[in-house]
Structure 1
């Protein structure tokens, strides 16, 4: 028999020593030089400061000023706190508010019902690798690069009462920008012209990422192109659809340049953004009242932005 002591089977096995090695991310950070760490810190800190200073702080100041009565000129110590009175006045005794809300809703409906589907239709056509497709993509996307103010001047050449192209073709004498019965529709055509190219690009990028085997399987089952798109492709584009919805809502809310170029948002072209500008930097500066209008726009925008972020984060989790 061996003189070595026998190891008892029931002896407790000591637990493994904890792994004190740094994680992969910490190891990578330790490998960075001091200069690299400074650069990374600046790359994170500078955009953060800009966003907080140029977006969130002004937004918070706008919400606070919406409860005050201030003309923007007097001393800050003389600001009168009025609570929710500005919101009450906006809804009850401010005549341009109701037309502005209707026009913003109409703007949203025109972009969502007409411009967005047309942009999606163009994306489907260009996804078929047509001859000259790059040229068509560039031509259709070009209005997106232009500012809305410049687009307003371009369409002014078309809508001009005396020398405009449209009246010359139709043989009429309609004041497309001056008549309050038609000017909102004229401006919507110009805005939709720009919006179509943006939506086309979003859907075209989404279509390029669709798995080709989905179309092949649908073709094997005898599905037509229209049926394949709406039953197979369109559901796959759900993230793009959400983005298009949010972009369309934001575009409808921030519509400003076109109507301001035409007649500063008056005479049938009242919009919430134009009312904010009229009250904040207009002839009768009312910072508190204009801030209340801006806060209403901010709340509506945050609602749709929250829906978008919730959808994106849920897709990432999946």
Structure 2
């Protein structure tokens, strides 16, 4: 009964990983036959300033977007969990950016942030080069990433909040605990499993972001938004060096595995309250 699922996982997940790993030791331009070059592609990455810049840009992009999106998502989930009127409609509105096509969202935001005809500049009454100024381009795409993911994150936090027994909060109120103390000592500790899932998936998605940035800046200006996924795309389909692109993908995979293991070690301690 599980054979069809195993075939799907093997054909669409495991086999592509093995193919990329094999390509990372070859030189191939999609036209000539692949040529074995050993560790030459990895040696190139050690001295490539473009690749180092892409890793740095991706790290900064992640550090700016993920903590902010998680904090806003948690606050939004707490507000929704209070059961105010209209919260069911708000849940739909918050998750719409996540379910929409990232490329389409990038095109829309590029129009909004256009220096000449953009809606944002029209509202503030001045011309700002949001996507072409090297100092503003990365913060602009970070804002779009936060706007896209905060609703998705809030839904997971909302599910985690609804699993916390009400009796725990009632006992805290009887003991005179303030709201900040309750949040710090009860809500956040009991949300550690949810926090782990949200953090891991958000970091992985952040390191793989491509569509929206490609639509808004194409990695510019001056490579200030050249994230690792954009560098892999350009190396593979613009420069036609699939071996180098595959080596970059392998390095990205190893980085994500390392980050995930660190996060797992940090969040492995779970707190529960005995309600028996």
Same fold (TM over 0.5): yes
Deviation at 1:308, TM superposition (A): 7.1
Alignment gaps of 5+ in structure 2 = 271-276
Q: State the 1:313 CA deviation.
A: 9.8
Q: Which residue matches 2:228? A: 272
How many angstroms does 1:309 deviate by? 7.6
Distance (Å, rounded) in 2 between the aligned partners of 1:313 and 1:186 = 34
Separation (CA, whole Å) in 1 of partners of 2:201 and 2:163? 20
Equivalent positions of 1:276-295 (< 5 A) are 276-282=232-238, 284-295=239-250
Q: Give the structure 2 partner of residue 83 of structure 1.
A: 38
TM-score by length of 2: 0.90
* 1:70 aligns with one of 5, 28, 51: 28
Q: Between Structure 1 and Structure 2, how many residues are aligned?
A: 268
* Larger Rg computed on CA atoms: 1
**Alpha-carbon spacing, 1:238–1:102, altered in 2? closer, same or farther (3 Å):** same
Q: Which of the residues 44, 54, 59 maps onto 2:12?
A: 54
Q: Could you tell me which residue of structure 2 aligns to residue 300 of structure 1?
A: 255
Q: Which moved more, 1:127-136 or 1:169-178?
A: 169-178
Counterpart of 1:102?
56
The whole-number CA distance in structure 2 between the counterparts of 1:313 and 1:203 is: 18
Q: Any stretches of 5+ residues in structure 1 without a counterpart? A: 1-40
- The verdict on how the C-alpha distance between 1:83 and 1:314 changes in structure 2, with shifts beyond 3 A counting, is farther
* Contact 2:66 2:146 (8 Å CA) reproduced: no
Deviations 1:154-191 (A, max 9, x none): 21232011111111122222221222221111111111
Please say if residues 196 and 264 of structure 2, whose CA atoms lie closer than 8 Å, have aligned partners that are also in contact. no
Say which structure, 1 or 2, has more relative contact order (CA 8 Å, 6+ apart).
2
Deviation of 1:47 after TM superposition, in Å, equals 2.0
Change (3 A) 1:70 1:247: same
In 2, distance between residues paired with 1:128 and 1:240? 19
TM-score, structure 1 normalization: 0.79
Q: Deviation at 1:67?
A: 1.6
Secondary structure at the counterpart of residue 32 of structure 2: coil
